Structure 1
């Protein structure tokens, strides 16, 4: 299919992958690019609209070929965080602890640390090992049964919201048009013509015709297209604790502390002086029946978390930083992503709608690819995705057949099962905060 630099290109979604796609299209010289999103940028429902996101070169596959490809994709992203002037200011190379408490969790970590082989990795097995990762008095907990390994460098966190806004502003500077907010940016349907997609219609009735359309709507993508059960919108939970100005300096340079059965937290951000904590679990869904009876999970915005999540966060803090375990939360929200059955991405030209490019299925690990993922999505437009990568991220309805909607996908934490928001009895009551303004 012939695509010129002046072809009309429409991106559905201004989250992490939609914004990255817009940026890479503009950097490659495409001059007629429009992005639609129902929320002001950064979107209040985008997983990328956050303070901290873990950045590392870790991968999630077990197959040898898949490991090789995911390592390549992770290196491309890490190159962007380290060397792209647009993203470099937002990356903090603080180091990263990966840990677990049970034999199953340790097996999932999958790393046998030998200091003589990699001096960047340090094995930790005693409480004092963990306490020494931060300035004296920060990590005061007993770390019961914790074991793991610490990346001294080459891992840390990025200020997600600021990096996402930087990508959007640069795309705008290069000529990309962002139409956001409701009704003007809220897509209500794709335009299907002759077994193809020719753009979208927004809630204000405007018809946006395009020669090529990119579906980058994150957890909402399944509301516009039948993904043959390849996507399951899944939510995670996060809270913030505000520190005093004196405390902020004390906790600065804390490495990312991640226990794959308990949760993770970061050093305080420089703008608000807040520590972000996430309780780890296989995720929440919001399951409903579609018109044809197929189960689907529908994402929604909420700046609160279930009280059971609060209890898990406080349990994590009691084991690591007990001095903060009873502090009030200054902010909380649920954070949506879309899981594929194998946790691999879907980046492909749709086989039955040849003018539709898919950039979906971030599977809870998509943000760290912000600097580079748009390049692969544009490669799909241009037919340049290397065959090995294509085979891993292609449209593949076979993986969705007879899908187990409760599959934990190898995740641990909480009750060690996928939960559903319909079963939540009580939520926190924390003062809301507008996080959607550019």
Structure 2
């Protein structure tokens, strides 16, 4: 039986960390501390963003069920002015993998009695009936996909802040700066005895939750066998007040081959545009396994540390192509605030929520491997992590050999940042 007064240390205050702190506090845990390099919401978290998609379509039944649970939680008054249920339209130009994903997603929702929320669409007339803001889009008659009214977006950074604020109000302690930045595990034999931070302090606890997202392999290199840290790119388009009014309450629009965008933010009238591609890696980590064999692996190159990077030219070109194709009335306008956003994928796109096998005492719980679909679970994922902390694990999330499955992301070549003008080569200029 887990004691509610045991000391729990959570490393990382992004989506997984903040939600875990909140749910542990709700369960009556009285000695919970969260540490992070940054005050919450952590600048390096994938959830540090103006908006993220909230959706229910999954070709994996487990996540379809969780997404339906999560969207109910998003409707709680706690998320008023944070969650916007605008609906969304998920389309493709005909990629076979995307079509299969749509079909499986529909079947999963149908099996959950949710098919009434969905409408199949094809061509300009059907699509613009749901999203009139696409009336100027080029080649839209070649689009086909799903409209789902049970979807939308949330202001991501504000949502994490809200959850962490609630956790703090229930007694959770938050530490940031050098005193909150983990640099190493302290161990004794096969036991974890503490977390060493940048200031030199060591925090000891009875349970540790590593919810450090893309930084997880950099902190514990052995996790590079389980996780692959990658980044994606986005840019911001500023609208006038009149333009923003025309796009207000617009459903989220995603095209599998081109990218996606949202209605304008309330702060600054900014439309966020993301190009679709398999992501970039930065293969700068080195790990020597137990057999003495060396491995190179990807580690984050965070925008907070390298603000001068921006995004690769090819990514900027893809964003501009999205604009000229989908919202051509804004063609040629300046792209502002172009940045990368780091996530960490697992081979089969399942989360990694399990005790670290190197420490059989079970004191170190790994809660990472978002695989690009974690933020939408913010209101509920901490419940599942808390369950794991108490010994109730989901087999899909276990540490170990996982099959490499198609993630649903377009393309199959993950380039290194150094090969597209950022990182290693740029540093030598």
**Could you tell me the TM-score, scaled by structure 2's length?**
0.88
Q: Distance in 1 between matches of 2:325 and 2:351?
A: 34
Task: Tell me the residue number matched to 1:433.
Answer: none
**Is there any run of 5+ residues in structure 1 with no aligned partner, and where?**
62-66, 428-438
1:54 aligns with 2:49: no
Q: Distance in 1 between matches of 2:342 and 2:274?
A: 13
How far did residue 137 of structure 1 move?
7.0
Are the counterparts in 2 of residues 358 and 377 from structure 1 also a CA contact under 8 Å? Answer: no
1:99 aligns with 2:100: no
Task: Tell me the residue number matched to 1:280.
Answer: 276
Find the residue that maps to 1:336 and give its secondary structure. strand
1:3-32: CA deviations, max 9, x gaps?
Answer: 321111101111110111111111111111
Task: Tell me the residue number matched to 1:125.
Answer: 122
Q: Distance in 2 between matches of 1:143 and 1:209?
A: 57
Task: Tell me the residue number matched to 1:79.
Answer: 72
Q: Distance in 2 between matches of 1:236 and 1:249?
A: 29
Comparing 348-357 with 245-254, which one deviates more in the overlay?
348-357
Find the residue that maps to 2:47 and give its secondary structure. coil
Find the residue that maps to 1:198 and give its secondary structure. strand
Task: Tell me the residue number matched to 1:435.
Answer: none
**Residue 172 to residue 238, structure 1, CA distance change in 2 (3 Å):** same
How far did residue 139 of structure 1 move?
4.5
Q: Distance in 1 between matches of 2:59 and 2:38?
A: 31
**Residue 253 to residue 32, structure 1, CA distance change in 2 (3 Å):** same
1:374 aligns with 2:377: no
Find the residue that maps to 1:238 and give its secondary structure. strand
Q: Distance in 2 between matches of 1:49 and 1:139?
A: 31
Find the residue that maps to 1:327 and give its secondary structure. coil
Q: Distance in 2 between matches of 1:124 and 1:56?
A: 17
1:156 aligns with 2:152: yes
* Higher helix proportion (structure 1 or 2): 2
1:162-192: CA deviations, max 9, x gaps?
Answer: 10110111111111111112x2211110121
Of the three residues 82, 98, 101, the one matched with 1:90 is: 82
Are the counterparts in 2 of residues 241 and 329 from structure 1 also a CA contact under 8 Å? Answer: yes
How far did residue 257 of structure 1 move?
0.5
Q: Distance in 1 between matches of 2:34 and 2:59?
A: 30
How far did residue 138 of structure 1 move?
5.8
RMSD: 2.3
Task: Tell me the residue number matched to 1:363.
Answer: 371
Are the counterparts in 2 of residues 20 and 373 from structure 1 also a CA contact under 8 Å? Answer: yes
Find the residue that maps to 1:188 and give its secondary structure. strand
1:119-145: CA deviations, max 9, x gaps?
Answer: 422222212333333346764433262
Task: Tell me the residue number matched to 1:191.
Answer: 186
Task: Tell me the residue number matched to 2:291.
Answer: none
Task: Tell me the residue number matched to 2:286.
Answer: 290
Task: Tell me the residue number matched to 1:222.
Answer: 217
Are the counterparts in 2 of residues 10 and 199 from structure 1 also a CA contact under 8 Å? Answer: no
Q: Distance in 2 between matches of 1:55 and 1:37?
A: 26
How far did residue 94 of structure 1 move?
0.8
1:10 aligns with 2:9: yes
Q: How does 1:340-351 map to 2 (within 5 A)?
A: 340-351=346-357
Task: Tell me the residue number matched to 2:342.
Answer: 336
How far did residue 269 of structure 1 move?
1.3
Aligned residues: 404
